[in-house]
Amino acid sequence: MKALISVSDKTGIVEFAKSLHGLGVQLLSTGGTAKLLADQGLPVTEVAEVTQFPEMLDGRVKTLHPKVHGGLLARRDVPAHMAALAEHGIDTIDLLVVNLYPFEATVAKTGCTLADAIENIDIGGPAMVRSAAKNWKDVGVVTAADQYEAVLGELKSSGKLSDKLRFALSVAAFNRIAQYDGAISDYLSSVKFEHEKLSEEYVPERALFGGQSNGHFIKVQDLRYGENSHQQAAWYRDLYPAPGSLATGVQLQGKELSYNNIADADAAWECVKSFDTFAAGGLEQSAACVIVKHANPCGVAIGKDAHEAYAKAFQTDPTSAFGGIIAFNRPVDKAAAEAVSKQFVEVLMAPDFSAEALEIFKSKVNVRLMKIALPAGGATDWDNGRNAIESKRIGSGLLLQTSDNHELKLADLKVVTVKQPTPEELNDLLFAWKVAKFVKSNAIVFCKNGMTMGVGAGQMSRLDSARIASIKAEAAKLSLQNTVVASDAFFPFRDGLDVVVDAGATCVAQPGGSMRDQEVIDAANERGVAMVFTGVRHFRH
């Protein structure tokens, strides 16, 4: 039995090769791997001796030879194949051990140049892996160190690899090659070629979606189960996670994150990231807190610090906040930690935690603390830590869309009523609009002084959402008098407007665009409230 070993990551390879040698396996190898094995006293034949052709072009060409690929690809059960090997003096290779040049690790390094990336694109390795994986019935292909144990186990017990293991190794090998090629494609597609403008017709997928159109991901972890205990689940991240995204977070303490935890944590984090400095009631407030329950914000507020923001957010709906997910856009200090620790919270996220805050949560061993650095900011979606595209699986298909990263500015608002909003109302409208973007449709959000006062989410009727928001406010003992309201889509009839005005709203933001816009505008004028059109809707399903 012959094994060809050529690895870039040499972790555990010496021990593995020694075990193979002890089992009577002949060792072939290349370059640095051959030298390492020889230095350890192992009898190893260099591939150049077999091919009678030297490595050349700085190692770019060394295994691309018929005596390598013939030995890997020949079917042992086809006489003509075996006769061809005999005619040309080619020996079979029964085990291939290859891991590839570290392309992903190279491009992940700060300061990586295009030239660095190009030199770390493996050619011979993937070619050998494909050959061995294709011929899985006769050849075992090992592409990761964590496969060594299983291979040695079968060789020791039966002297050969089982069909089951060889097939599993083949599948893993093709998966690795697909991942590797995807990493190269994604990286090169993100490079701005300075010397020549590339026409978009050569990259049509990216013209619409941009970013990582190949959709290659790396598994972060297997999860205990999915949304329900009878469903299997796992968490994957992009090959190159956007700065400031949930996938870049570090869990400081607590139980393992569940499927639902991760989904809700993402909703909370994406929402809280969208808040910057707001002026509400004449006070500059930059700290924001978002509390999410079952994918919907049930309390959102801004304040002069994390503690005040949390206190206001919690007021919106204390009942729903129980067992919720909480996110801050500012570090959690002692005061905020003491307040949060009084409620049952599943996940707490922030850019950082003070030493006092961490000490407070030490006794809350099940609370999952996540530290996530906020994105540095910039002109692009990638710089802002946002996904460029979103996907949704449907029956035997996939829906893709660009992400809803639209940011509303004061200049975008069009006042359509006789009554004009006050500066305070306009500021609260911008706040309410940010929240509404993260509430499941149909969404109605009452706000005042940088705080949600009532949230109606996920109803089939906008009218029902408006009523539920009022009921939520009443249950929390919050007055909706002189509040503003954001509606994620237009009011199809005046009845929805009447409900929010009856509840106490004095100013309403909605996209506009209904055939009955004028009817709703007339109703607003009749009720003496201000209304602005945003010109954009925020359906969220």
**Active-site residue list:** 134, 294
| Helix residue ranges per DSSP H, 60-113 | 66-73, 79-88, 103-108
What are the residues facing 142 on neighbouring strands? 97
Can you tell me the distance from the alpha carbon of 219 to that of 367, in angstroms, rounded to the nearest whole number?
24
304, 443 Cβ separation under 8 angstroms? no
The span from the CA of 107 to the CA of 101, in Å, is 12
Phi, psi of 141 (to 5 degrees): -125, 120
Sheet of 452-456, strands arranged across: 414-415, 530-533, 505-510, 483-487, 444-447, 452-456
Give the position of tokens 């002069």.
Answer: 304
By CB atoms closer than 10 A (0-12, 13-18, 19+), residue 263 is middle
CA dist., res. 323 & res. 305, Å (int): 23
Label residue 164 exposed, middle or buried (CB < 10 Å: 0-12, 13-18, 19+). Answer: exposed
Q: Distance between CA 133 and CA 140 in Å, rounded?
A: 7
Establish how many alpha carbons lie within 13 A of residue 475's alpha carbon, considering only the half-sphere containing its beta carbon.
15
